[in-house]
Structure 1
Amino acid sequence: MTLGGSNTANGFSGGDYLSEESVLRSYPLYPTRKRRCCNVAGDGFTVISACFCIFTTALTIAFVAQLNYGSPEVTPHGAVSTDEEGCSRVGITIMADGGNAVDVAVASILCMTVVHPHAVGPGGSGVMLIHDHKTNSSTVVDFMSGVPYSHKAEEEQPSPTDGKSIGVPGLLRGLEYAHTKFGKLSWRKLFSPSIDIARKGFVVSAHLEEALKKSNVTQVDGVTEFDKTFFPRGIMLKQGDFMQRENYAQFLEIVAKHGADSFYALNFGVEEINALRENGAEIYVRDLDTYEPRERPCIHMSLKNMSVFTAPAPFGGPQLLAALQLLRNSNLTTHLPLSNFYHSFLEAIRRSYAGFVSLADAEEAVLQNMTNELLSASSEWKDDRVTLADPNIFRLPEQTASSVSVIDTFDSYVALVAGLGTYFGSRVMTKSGILFNNHLSNMPPHTHPGDEQFSHSRPLNTYTPVIITDVHQVCGMRAVLSSPDVGAVIQVISQLLFQGHSLTEAIEQPRITVRPGLDQVFVEDFGDIDRLPGSVRNAITTKNTLQVLHLPYPSVNGVSKTKDKLVSRSDARGGGVAHRLEPASTHTVNITTDL
């Protein structure tokens, strides 16, 4: 894969695509050495006529090519969408400085670790889906939390705040891997904006306040780093409060200078190891030292003349594709009543989850085959009745994360999702302001204690990066979507492809949340989001108990491009604002905000 014309990697690939920038080649149309094509002895008129014909023919070819493929002189433009306007601005500034989609995604998520520490941080993990539209090649960088070597089979899932729920963090090594292989700008440059924000301070968002409320912290002793950070002087942080993170700024400076190993290596990891061990975690120096990201091929399907690319297990991609298979079998059309449409969502999400969760205890060697079997089976499910899964089915804790979607000036796309598991992860926090994940609470009881092959496997989660491209038209609609919640992505893609909504409309449509194995359906009741119509609510309640979903809601952030037209949208549920790099004049660019 080539990102910004500087790096390559193997991944899923198709035919060679022409891009909007490919009319003018980097090589000459004709050899540079002189050719004597006009040397006709003794006939000056013939020489002039021949040269004139060649010139006009070449001009005509270039003109036709420009009409077909667009102008090669288009001012560079791109977009980034996150859950925080300031972090979208950081990303677009990196793009304006010549960074590609990977650079932008890395800088943006680093910013999110500062302002949304409840959702993402160096103690967390994630996934990055990278697509180069010029070569039609994709790859997935998997930096999900690893299972410690000393992990033993448990009779029950560890609770989210149990130290045994902490997996080996993958965020920094994953970002460094992606940047080293695909990035353009220096590693240190990507850290600079976040260091400034952490040191100078920022305003607490509504999302952080709502996450604190949802965490149900009932007693604060003011002793732990968690209490000192989020309950200063015993008072919970609220939206609009001013927050500075000097200790975290110092940590970021060290990582910017020395790389991800400064977090994982023993000479800087003593603090982290002590904090982990004191809270019952099973992580040792060996786990941090040997953790490595994994580059995987993406999985994909064709739907409504579009290719849908996503990440394989342990991420939410298999459930997404299985659900889309079910929805395709339902023969959804724009003429169906909305109640039928949401009924189909219920069926697709419940049934696809039942298959997806079967991958939770799969060993790495058989994971791909099991995924293929799930997708094959889902294409045959045509029963239109909504059937509840076994109430004893294994349930993943409600996942949260930060998501970043990018289309850059080189026509490269990135969907990134990274998080701590549930809000605030395990709540184990170091003096440097690092919260650790609780991803091992996503693991069911298993039968692989002490198995070296099982160690450093990845627990199942619902992080879902998606890239959509037009099968037939190179410059047709392309979309980048990212979310911690696969059910939300299923609904957005369905609104986009089955209902024909625009990206903005598809993201902002009312959504439902389904809990596996239960007859409960949760609906949003947020003032800035259109509520679910009464006819749909009535239809749902005939077979389900309807409940209100409490804030904060999982968001889906997206960017789309059709020909040269960009649309960027940060989901109102996440509270963010997207930014675009747009041509303002012949010689300047303008950073615009998606309102």
Structure 2
Amino acid sequence: MGTSSEVKTALGTRHLPSKSGDYLTEETAIHPSYPLYATRKRHCCHGSDGFTVISVCFFVLTSAITFALIIQIHYGSPEVTPHGAVATDGEKCSHIGIKIMQEGGSAVDVAIASLLCMTVIHPHVIGPGGSGVMLVHDHKSNQSVVIDFMSDIPSSHKSEVPLQQDTGGRSIGVPGLLRGLEYAHSKYGKVPWSSLFTPSIELAREGFNVSAHLEQSLKRLNVTQVDGITPFEKTFFPRGLMLKEGDFLKRENYADLLETISINGAESFYALDFGVEELKALRAAGSDIHVRDFENYKVRERSCIHMTMEDYTVITAPAPFGGPQLLLALEMLRNSNLTQASPALLYHSFIEAIRRSYRSFVELAVVEEPSLENVTQQLLKSNFNTSIDSTITPADPTVLAISDQAATTVSVIDTFDQYVAAVAGLGSFFGSRLMTEHGILFNNHLSNLPNSPLPEKDEFSRVRPLSLYTPVILTDYKQVCGERVVLSSPEVGAAAQIISQLIIRQKNLIDAIAQPRLTVKPGVDEVYREDFGEGAKMPADATNSLKAMNHSFEVLHQPYASVNGISKIKDNLVSMSDIRGGGVAHRLESSPKT
């Protein structure tokens, strides 16, 4: 793996001086409750003789201290500046996050500020009407936790009554985004709650240029004419014309909402100032959500799940998120001897692993909450040592089809060695398409529920809709100072392909994210290929070989799922924003020597 000093991009690296003398390093977008470690002491020294190791380490330590004291006496105290990184789908949001880090914010603070910024510039993907997950890992104390703020099922919702469509009022789950961010801040925040909102409030009031990602998402709607009456139309089709990349957009009403939440907390969204507006819009659209559903919403902490793969521990989120499917897919790939496999065999294995693991994963959709952890562990154990052969598994049209997952992803490593992988969104692009006057788009997460009765809906047994949101942290379980990777993905398939490229094919983070990816959709035999430039296409010989194996392909139109990541080896950082999301990652580093 390359270190940050070895990473060069086509556009180079810009250094932006800050008041404190640190530099904000901008990296250009690249084209294309587990046993956390063994119980032995964590260290970077290795040897077969424990006494020898201790003696050598003691000698090195005392020599280093003596040398440092001599240097300090002769030259004075050196200034050592910690550094960190953030990768998001928006350059402005990465910049906001790194400024929060510079002001002493934790990785959780940075993630919250970055997500809030994304609610401003990418309202089609994330907003207060959405939900998500945050995986937090403290590398020094070796502790991890999953913060689950996925949408809840309204108490009066009857899942056995099929939805007529994937959008609309009945598709809306009780949103958890703001409650989840507030909960995470209460546990891990270091800067005031209101300070995390200020940059996004200013951005919404002052305005910003529409991204290519937003324009591409609007094109997917295939809307040819609008009346410009609803808040949705007024926002995305001002004066009857669809927003296009580069258009200037202000969101002053949304800024008012953010300001209220920054002062009064998440409760102001759920029950106070804007509650009447929300509930009126929800009821008018046929939603099953009542006041009590907002009041009863609770953030859940979950234990992470994990597996070992080569020298890495793969840490991820349990159900209702995509972690179980990810581990199932990686288990199949690990056992399939892909180190020297041809590109065609590699991509065939990706397709099969994603399709087969999905079929097992969706069985968790109807498991009662108290049994979810045990059933998940049984599912993972039952697939141990499975592998991929040359067989093509036909798609099963009867399985629960989770809709295309649109979400924004944020990865952070801070100056305290806290790592955060966060994924949050509205479900599919534009969620339910129901929007309030203050710019709140509601999710459509209930479109992922099975058409069968769910367990009793009390606080302890209530399930949450399955989601493919997949936060991941990789650590070298042999060396504390070995490679650590933070990845956040809106879907399992992308995460599985990148992790396999990293671990099995031993590619660096930049190349692993930039590799062409395939999308496998539930219940569909066709495999979807990306098509956004020659450099990101699969090699023609690999495509032809896969077709010869009877795989069939369709073109996947933009926008694509983006996976943002950060790699750290010792103190060297590489931060990566996936070009698929259009973002730019930023790093906080010590000033370069002059």
**Band the TM-score falls in, shorter-chain normalisation:** 0.7 to 0.9
SS at match of 2:479: coil
Root-mean-square deviation (CA, aligned residues, Å) is 2.3
**8 Å contact 2:559–2:580 — kept in the other structure?**
yes
**Which of these residues, 558, 573, 580, is aligned with residue 551 of structure 1?**
558
Counterpart check, 1:576 vs 2:583: yes
Q: Is the 8 A contact 2:269 2:275 kept in 1?
A: yes
Could you tell me how far 1:528 is from its partner in structure 2?
7.1
Greater CA radius of gyration, 1 or 2?
Answer: 1
> 1:60, CA displacement in angstroms?
2.4
Taking every aligned residue pair, what percent have the same amino acid on both sides? 59
Q: Are 2:126 and 1:120 aligned?
A: yes
State whether structure 2 residue 417 is matched by structure 1 residue 414.
Answer: no
Is the 1:148–1:455 Cα contact (8 Å) retained in structure 2?
Answer: no
Give me the whole-angstrom Cα distance separating, in 1, the residues matched to 2:42 and 2:78: 12
Separation in 2 of the partners of 1:455 and 1:289? 18
- Which residue number in structure 2 is paired with residue 482 of structure 1? 488
Contact 1:508 1:529 in 2 (8 A): no
Q: Contact 2:152–2:464 (CA<8 Å) still a contact in 1? A: yes
Question: 173-182 or 216-225: which moved more?
Answer: 216-225
The question of 1:181 aligning with 2:187 is answered yes
Q: Counterpart amino acid of 1:141?
A: I
Matched, 1:374 2:379: yes
Q: How does 1:487-506 map to 2 (within 5 A)?
A: 487-506=493-512
4+ long deviations beyond 6 Å: 16-20
Q: Which residue of 1 aligns with 2:266?
A: 260
Q: Deviations over 1:108-131 (max 9, x none)?
A: 000000000000000000000000
1:560 is matched with 567
Whether the aligned pair in 2 keeps the contact of 1:131 and 1:412 (CA below 8 Å) is yes
1:152 deviates by 1.1
Work out which structure has the larger RCO, using CA pairs closer than 8 Å and 6 or more positions apart in sequence: 2
Contact 1:405 1:557 in 2 (8 A): yes
Shift of 1:95: 0.5
- Report how far residue 155 of structure 1 moved: 3.7
**Mapped partners of 1:493, 1:63: distance in 2:** 43
Structural mapping, 1:1-40, within 5 Å: 13-14=36-37, 15=39
Give the structure 1 partner of residue 474 of structure 2.
Answer: 468
- Distance of aligned partners of 1:57 and 1:469 in 2 relative to their CA distance in 1, 3 Å threshold: closer
For 1:78 and 1:398, how far apart are their aligned partners in 2? Answer: 32
Q: Secondary structure at the match of 2:412?
A: strand
Report the residue type matching 1:495 in the other structure: Q
Residue 63 of structure 1 deviates from its aligned partner by 5.8
Q: Is the 8 A contact 1:309 1:468 kept in 2?
A: yes
Q: Counterpart of 2:274 in 1: which secondary structure?
A: helix
State whether structure 2 residue 63 is matched by structure 1 residue 60: yes
Cα distance per residue 1:306-344 (max 9 Å; x no partner): 0100000000000000000000110121x2211111111
Q: Is the partner of 1:458 in helix, strand or coil?
A: coil
Per-residue deviation at 1:59? 4.3
Q: Which residue of 2 aligns with 1:204?
A: 210
| Structure-2 residue corresponding to 1:297 | 303
Tell me the SS of whatever aligns to 1:314: coil
Mapping 1:40-439, distance limit 5 Å: 59-60=62-63, 62=65, 74-333=80-339, 335-382=340-387, 384=389, 385-439=391-445
The residue identity in structure 2 corresponding to 1:430 is T
Aligned mates of 1:383, 1:302 — CA distance in 2: 18
Secondary structure at the aligned position of 1:580 is classed as: strand
How many angstroms does 1:159 deviate by? 2.0
The one-letter code sitting in structure 1 at the alignment partner of 2:577 is S
Distance 1:157 1:472 in 2: 49
Instruction: Work out the CA distance in 2 between the residues paired with 1:149 and 1:480.
Output: 36
Deviation at 1:361, TM superposition (A): 1.6
Aligned residues: 538
Instruction: Determine if contact 2:163/2:170 at 8 Å carries over to the other structure.
Output: no
- Segment of structure 1 superposing worse, 375-384 or 253-262: 375-384
What's the TM-score, normalizing by structure 1? 0.87
Gaps of at least 5 residues in structure 1 are: 1-9, 21-55, 589-595
1:120–1:401 contact (8 Å) kept in structure 2: yes
3-state SS, counterpart of residue 176 of structure 1? helix
CA deviation profile, 1:249-276 (whole Å, cap 9, x unmatched) = 0000000000000001144301001110
- In 2, distance between residues paired with 1:428 and 1:389? 32
Partner AA of 1:557 in structure 2: N
Structure 2: gaps spanning 5 or more residues: 1-32, 45-58, 70-76
- Take 2:354 and 2:60, find their aligned partners in 1: how far apart are those partners? 57
Output the CA distance in 2 between the equivalents of 1:143 and 1:73. Answer: 40
SS at match of 1:295: strand
What do residues 287-314 of structure 1 show as CA deviations (whole Å, max 9, x unaligned)?
0011011011100111011010000000
Give the equivalent residue in structure 2 for 1:36: none
Contact 1:151/1:450 (<8 A) preserved: no
Query: Aligned partners of 1:72, 1:59: CA distance in 2, in Å?
Result: 19
Contact preservation (8 Å) 2:577, 2:585? yes
CA displacement at 1:523 relative to structure 2 = 0.5
What is the Cα deviation at residue 477 of structure 1? Answer: 0.4
Q: Distance in 2 between matches of 1:460 and 1:239?
A: 33
Rounded Cα–Cα distance in structure 2 between residues aligned with 1:169 and 1:13: 31
Q: Distance in 1 between matches of 2:60 and 2:496?
A: 50
Structure 2: which amino acid aligns with 1:559?
Answer: I
1:345 CA displacement? 0.4
Distance change in 2, residues 1:295/1:476 (3 Å)? same
Secondary structure in 2 matching 1:360: helix
What residue identity is the alignment partner of 1:578? A
Provide the C-alpha distance between the structure 1 equivalents of 2:336 and 2:435, rounded to a whole number of angstroms.
47
Shift of 1:454: 7.8
Pick which of 380-389 and 340-349 moved more.
380-389
Give the AA of the match of 2:581. Answer: G
The 3 A distance-change label for structure 1 pair 90 and 529 is: farther
| CA apart distance, 1:162 | 2.3
User: Residues 17 and 418 from structure 1, CA distance in 2 versus in 1: closer, same or farther, beyond 3 angstroms?
Assistant: farther
Q: TM-score, normalised by structure 2?
A: 0.87
